[in-house]
Each structure stands twice: as structure tokens, then as C-alpha cells.
């Protein structure tokens, strides 16, 4: 299987409702799909979404990266897989989402060449997973209504977006907690919206009321490493790092400092599957569990995350891969079952999604 062409397409999809966090407001999905074509007609599919507020990438920068890398890959055989992966990561720094999309396409091709689903190639066996659902930041009554609707749809774990106003955040969390059955788990995500002292103040207030979320995700700025440690040393609620961890070095520093309880692995941050697998292994060496998460993206990249979750099911114990469920529709073709809270991988070779 020799690579003969690389080209891109835009995947557009409507959302069921706007996606709102302390960092951004999104009304529709627009992703970059990368397609690698081989001389035998086999196609490898990858995908990434520009999220400039988090990764610094735009659609233009992602396309520019692919244009730069393309001549270095065309003509190579998929048998040179390790060399190709190294090329992706050494030709430029940063560009983590674009690198991830290209990696996913290469992993898709490699698994197809071996005639196995990607999760099997990576050593995984689990095919069925349960994800949470994101409750976008809004007025309290609307967030309660969205939470009730999610429970009706079968979700037992909700990720509550907060972080724009400490007083309103406390009101939202308490109201949602009081409105739901106690078997419904809450995850809190402030998306860098608070200071360390504000985080401790709010979490102490919740804890005094007996409200201890499954975790609080990235309450402080991504570069506020000391802030994370300050919070962890003062609250009962487990602390999960998201935007603070892109690289293995980022993770190693936080793990050495004992500044966090959990790590959120996202392919768009780790620059693809290769580093995501290594990050899971690093976390395991410190006895720290992981969550696999996603940006607001389509079924190709979300499916790739599920395959990684299968490969590292012993350490990736939390799933936050709800992006496909947030879409009203999408044009991709797949036998993977995205059934609200339940995601079931297919036996199709590779990632299992076409576009």
C-alpha cells in the first residue's frame, strides 16, 4: 500500500443546540477531514476541528500544515508507518489537531492493511462504552431542563459547563444537583474560568452541602500549575487537568508535583493516537486514572478516541465522547453505533468511519 494522494474536505453538521462554555459559543460544526489515498484504492480517514481558543489552530493553519507535510508523505508505503508518524511530529512544532487528524488517517490505513478494527490492532477488546453528556452553560432554569432531558435520554453522568460567574456557577450546580435523582453523577467543567482561591471557595461551599462532584475539570488557567496544586491540597473534590496537559512533559510535571487526581486525554491536544497511548501509560505508572475526551468534533475523530479507550481500558476509566450525540445530523457513514450514552464499535476494519 503506497500513498498516492492526500486531500481534504470540510465536514459541516448542525448542532441540536448551541454549545456554550466559558471560552466559546458554537452554533454549528465545521471540521477538516483528511483523506489519504493508496495505490490499491484504500482510503484512510482522519478528522480534526479548529479550536483556536484551546489549541491555537484555525482551519487555515490546519490546511497549511497538511500542505506542508503532504510532499513528505506521498510516495511512502504504509509499511513505513513508524517513519511516517515521526515525520508528522518533527516537521513542525505545535499544530496538534492537524497532526492528530493526519495520524488518525494513517492509523486507519494501517489497521485496514492488517484487516482488523483499529482497537484490535492497538490491543483492545472492549467495544461498548458509556459516555457522559455536556450541559452547556446557560441560565439555571435552562440548564436544569437540559439535565432532565439528558436523563430521559438515558444519561447517568452529566458534565456541567460553568466558569463565567462564581455566584451563578454555585447557583447552577446546587439547583441541578437538587433537581436530579441522587444516582445521577455530576462532572464540573469550568474551562479555566476561576482563580485558584475562587475554586477552593466554591468547592468548599458545595462540599459543606454534601455536593461532591465526580471531579472538577480545569478550573484555572492552563498555565496555572501552582494553582492546580493549591486546589488539590485544599478540597475533597477530585481535580482533573485538561487544557494544562498537551504533552507528555506537561503531564509528567503535574504528576510529579501531585497536583492533580485525573488527566483528560484528547487526541487534538496530544497530536494524535501515538502520544495519547503514551500519556495513558505514563498516567498508569503514577497510578492516576484518565478520561478520554474530545473537542466539539465529528464521528471520525470521536471514533478514534473510542478505539484508544478500548486499547487502554484499564487506565481510561471515564468517557467524555459525547460530540456526535450533540449533532442534529452528520454526513459521515459508519456502522459504529452512537446511541446517546452508549457507543458501540463495529467490526469494520480501521477506524470504521467514511466520509
Question: For residues 254 and 225, what is the distance between their CA atoms, to the nearest angstrom?
Answer: 7
CA angle 110, 58, 3 (to 5 degrees): 25
Question: For residues 149 and 154, what is the distance between their CA atoms, to the nearest angstrom?
Answer: 9
Is 17 labeled as catalytic in the residue annotation? Answer: no
CB 334 within 8 A of CB 352: yes
Is 167 labeled as catalytic in the residue annotation? Answer: no
Count of beta carbons in the 10 Å neighbourhood of residue 81: 15
Burial 20-38 (b: 16+ CB within 10 A, else e): bbbbeebeebebbbbbbbb
| Cα-only R_g, the chain | 20
List 159, 232, 266, 269, catalytic entry: 266
CB 297 within 8 A of CB 46: no
Question: Measuring CA to CA, how many Å separate 202 from each of 161, 176, 212?
Answer: 15, 15, 11
Read off φ and ψ for residue 317, nearest 5 degrees. Answer: -105, -5
List 161, 232, 269, 312, catalytic entry: 161
Question: For residues 340 and 17, what is the distance between their CA atoms, to the nearest angstrom?
Answer: 15
Active-site annotation, residues: 161, 266
Amino acid at each position: 500500500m503506497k500513498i498516492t494522494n492526500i486531500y481534504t474536505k470540510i465536514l459541516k453538521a448542525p448542532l441540536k443546540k448551541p454549545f456554550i462554555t466559558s471560552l466559546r459559543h458554537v452554533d454549528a460544526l465545521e471540521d477538516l477531514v483528511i483523506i489519504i489515498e493508496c495505490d490499491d484504492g484504500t482510503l484512510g480517514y482522519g478528522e480534526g476541528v479548529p479550536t483556536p481558543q484551546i489549541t491555537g489552530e484555525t482551519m487555515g493553519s490546519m490546511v497549511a500544515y497538511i500542505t506542508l507535510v503532504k510532499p513528505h508523505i506521498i510516495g511512502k508505503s504504509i509499511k513505513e508507518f513508524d517513519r511516517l508518524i515521526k515525520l508528522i511530529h518533527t516537521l513542525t512544532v505545535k499544530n496538534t489537531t492537524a497532526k492528530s487528524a493526519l495520524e488518525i488517517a494513517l492509523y486507519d490505513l494501517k489497521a485496514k492493511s492488517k484487516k482488523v478494527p483499529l482497537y484490535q490492532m492497538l490491543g483492545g477488546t472492549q467495544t461498548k462504552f458509556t459516555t457522559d453528556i455536556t450541559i452547556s452553560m446557560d441560565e439555571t432554569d435552562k440548564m436544569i431542563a437540559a439535565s432532565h432531558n439528558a436523563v430521559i435520554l438515558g444519561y447517568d453522568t452529566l458534565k456541567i459547563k460553568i466558569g463565567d460567574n462564581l455566584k451563578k456557577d454555585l447557583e447552577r450546580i446546587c439547583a441541578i444537583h437538587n433537581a436530579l435523582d441522587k444516582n445521577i453523577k455530576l462532572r464540573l467543567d469550568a474551562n479555566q474560568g476561576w482563580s485558584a482561591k475562587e475554586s477552593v471557595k466554591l468547592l468548599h461551599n458545595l462540599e459543606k452541602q454534601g455536593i461532591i462532584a465526580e471531579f472538577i475539570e480545569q478550573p484555572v488557567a492552563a498555565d496555572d500549575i501552582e494553582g492546580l496544586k493549591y486546589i488539590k491540597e485544599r478540597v475533597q473534590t477530585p481535580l482533573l487537568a485538561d487544557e494544562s496537559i498537551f504533552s507528555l512533559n506537561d503531564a509528567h510535571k503535574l504528576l510529579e508535583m501531585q497536583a492533580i487526581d485525573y488527566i483528560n486525554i484528547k487526541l487534538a491536544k496530544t497530536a494524535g493516537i501515538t502520544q495519547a497511548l503514551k500519556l495513558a501509560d505514563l498516567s498508569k505508572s503514577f497510578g492516576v486514572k484518565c478520561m478520554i475526551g474530545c473537542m466539539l468534533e465529528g464521528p471520525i475523530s470521536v471514533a478514534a478516541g473510542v478505539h484508544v479507550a478500548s486499547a487502554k481500558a484499564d487506565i481510561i476509566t471515564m468517557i467524555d465522547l459525547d460530540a456526535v450525540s450533540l449533532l442534529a445530523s452528520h454526513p459521515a457513514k459508519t456502522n459504529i453505533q452512537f446511541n446517546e450514552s452508549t457507543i458501540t464499535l463495529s467490526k469494520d476494519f480501521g477506524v470504521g468511519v467514511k466520509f
